[in-house]
């Protein structure tokens, strides 16, 4: 008999199959959903939906929602909610419009002030949650009404009784920062493509798509940065740890309090960014701006793979979840279907996403 000891393979070194690794990706459901929705509209919608102009039509609202969804997703991964993010769009819009129109400030001052106010409110949200131990759902639900009411009152004070403040575009039209937050990018490139026949033009020769709306660039850039932070930095590990088990994370040296408050601030600033972009595009702000967007942002994050219990999800999943929203919202106008089907789709997608994410969580954790 040989005395050579038998080598037992360590289970921790066991290689997973590609399929097993793929199933654990939080954004898998959103990608699958996007494929299904795309195929559905390719079959049922007018062919113009998937032309360059049609794609820009649904990507613009997707980008605006997606910026909010990325902020919501980061916060959900950290184990918290922010139901005030939609009202923040209205309140930050009030602050921004008041700075530019009422006070006559240039964008180089108005934009930082708007972000600072939003970050301060996000910090207050986070501090109350962590100090009192109250669920963030309840605290931010209160701020949903507080900010919406403050927007109404503030607009009436700023305008002398109206709930809409106009004149933003006239106030900032010549400002050098305006092209970064409003309008289309790469107009020269698109003009050249129109001249060479690469893209469609109107009868007078102007391109049907003059450029890429800047909110789409902000959306893509924010998704890439958030994904990098989550997957390639220690701060990303802290976010997952704080959302998974904050006690264990704190015992391991993770600054849970700072992480969570910074996530509340980030979500609030995402709302402020959407406010700045939409107010500059429309040239005005009103108290209903961002109405119900907090729920759509959270649903997009859930469709993107975020668990309601925290500690799991991805920013790129929220990216695809928002695109699904934009595609369905605008895509129904290209079909003969009643647009009220969107509400049914919304509930159905949320239910399917929660069931799918719950199944994936059990696969990852080994629960039965």
Q: List, for residues 194-249, the tens digit of each pLDDT value.
A: 999 889 888 888 899 999 999 999 999 999 999 999 999 999 999 999 998 889 99
- Whole-number pLDDT of residue 43: 92
- Whole-number pLDDT of residue 336: 85
105/209 Cα distance (integer angstroms): 32
pLDDT at position 61 over 70:
yes
pLDDT at position 23 over 70:
no
205/199 Cα distance (integer angstroms): 11
pLDDT at position 299 over 70:
yes
275: number of Cβ within 10 Å: 26
54/330 Cα distance (integer angstroms): 9
- Whole-number pLDDT of residue 22: 60
* Phi then psi dihedrals of residue 173, to 5 deg: -55, -35
pTM reported for the whole predicted model? 0.92
Angle between helical axes of 341-365 and 28-44 (0-180°, round to 10): 150
Q: For all residues of the chain together, what is the average pLDDT?
A: 89
Alpha helices in the chain (DSSP H): 18-23, 28-44, 52-77, 85-97, 107-132, 136-159, 168-172, 178-181, 187-195, 214-232, 234-244, 246-251, 256-282, 293-303, 315-331, 341-365
- Whole-number pLDDT of residue 230: 95
The mean pLDDT of 174-190, rounded to a whole number, is 94
How far apart, in Å, are the Cα atoms of 36 and each of 19, 42, 43, 80?
20, 10, 11, 30
pLDDT above 90 covers a percentage of the chain that reads: 66
Contact 92, 118 (CB under 8 A): yes
Q: How confident is the model at residue 27 (pLDDT cuts 50, 70, 90)?
A: confident
- How open is the CA angle 52-54-56, to the nearest 5 degrees? 70
- Whole-number pLDDT of residue 351: 82
Q: pLDDT tens-digit profile of 97-151? A: 999 999 999 999 999 999 999 999 999 999 999 999 999 999 999 999 999 999 9
32/345 Cα distance (integer angstroms): 15
Q: How confident is the model at residue 29 (pLDDT cuts 50, 70, 90)?
A: confident
- Whole-number pLDDT of residue 1: 47
Helix (H/G/I), strand (E/B), else coil: 262 = helix
DSSP 8-state symbol, 201 = B
Least confident of 5-19, 75-89, 108-122, 144-158: 5-19
- Whole-number pLDDT of residue 366: 59
pLDDT at position 303 over 60:
yes
- Whole-number pLDDT of residue 3: 58
The mean pLDDT of 2-19, rounded to a whole number, is 55
pLDDT above 70 covers a percentage of the chain that reads: 91
- Nearest to 316, CA basis, from 86, 69, 80: 69
Q: Which of 33-42, 78-87, 299-308, 358-367 has the highest mean pLDDT?
A: 78-87
Tell me the longest C-alpha to C-alpha distance in the chain: 98
Which is more confidently placed, 209 or 351? 209
142/271 Cα distance (integer angstroms): 17
The mean pLDDT of 283-291, rounded to a whole number, is 92
The mean pLDDT of 83-99, rounded to a whole number, is 96
305/156 Cα distance (integer angstroms): 41
pLDDT at position 367 over 50:
yes
- Nearest to 325, CA basis, from 351, 353, 303, 292: 303
The mean pLDDT of 304-331, rounded to a whole number, is 90
58/53 Cα distance (integer angstroms): 9
């Amino acid at each position: 008999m040989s005395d050579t000891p038998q080598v037992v393979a360590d289970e921790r070194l066991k290689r997973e199959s590609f399929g097993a690794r793929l199933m654990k990706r939080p954004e898998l459901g959103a990608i699958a959903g996007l494929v299904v929705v795309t195929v559905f509209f390719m079959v049922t919608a007018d062919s113009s939906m998937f032309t360059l102009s049609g794609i820009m039509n649904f990507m613009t609202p997707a980008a605006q929602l997606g910026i909010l969804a990325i902020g919501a997703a980061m916060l959900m991964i950290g184990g918290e909610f922010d139901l005030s993010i939609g009202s923040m769009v209205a309140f930050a819009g009030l602050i921004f419009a008041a700075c530019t129109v009422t006070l006559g400030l240039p964008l180089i001052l108005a934009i930082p002030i708007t972000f600072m106010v939003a970050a301060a409110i996000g910090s207050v949200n986070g501090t109350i949650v962590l100090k009192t131990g109250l669920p963030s759902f309840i605290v931010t639900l209160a701020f949903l009404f507080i900010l919406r009411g403050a927007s109404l009152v503030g607009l009436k004070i700023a305008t002398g009784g109206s709930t809409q403040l106009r004149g933003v575009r006239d106030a900032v039209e010549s400002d050098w920062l305006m092209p970064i937050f409003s309008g289309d990018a790469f107009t020269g490139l698109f003009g050249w493509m129109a001249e060479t026949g690469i893209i469609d033009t109107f009868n007078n020769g102007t391109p049907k798509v003059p450029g890429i709306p800047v909110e789409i660039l902000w959306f893509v850039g924010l998704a890439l940065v958030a994904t990098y932070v989550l997957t390639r930095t220690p701060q990303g590990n802290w976010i997952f740890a704080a959302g998974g088990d904050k006690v264990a994370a704190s015992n391991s040296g993770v600054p849970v309090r700072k992480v969570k408050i910074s996530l509340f601030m980030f979500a609030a600033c995402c709302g402020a960014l959407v406010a700045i972009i939409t107010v500059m595009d429309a040239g005005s702000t009103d108290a209903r701006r961002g109405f119900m967007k907090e729920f759509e942002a959270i649903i997009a994050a859930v469709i993107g793979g975020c668990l309601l219990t925290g500690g799991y999800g991805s920013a790129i999943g929220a990216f695809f979840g928002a695109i699904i929203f934009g595609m369905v919202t605008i895509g129904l106008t290209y079909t003969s279907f009643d647009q009220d089907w969107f509400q049914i789709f919304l509930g159905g997608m949320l239910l399917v996403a929660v069931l799918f994410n719950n199944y994936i969580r059990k696969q990852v954790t080994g629960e039965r």
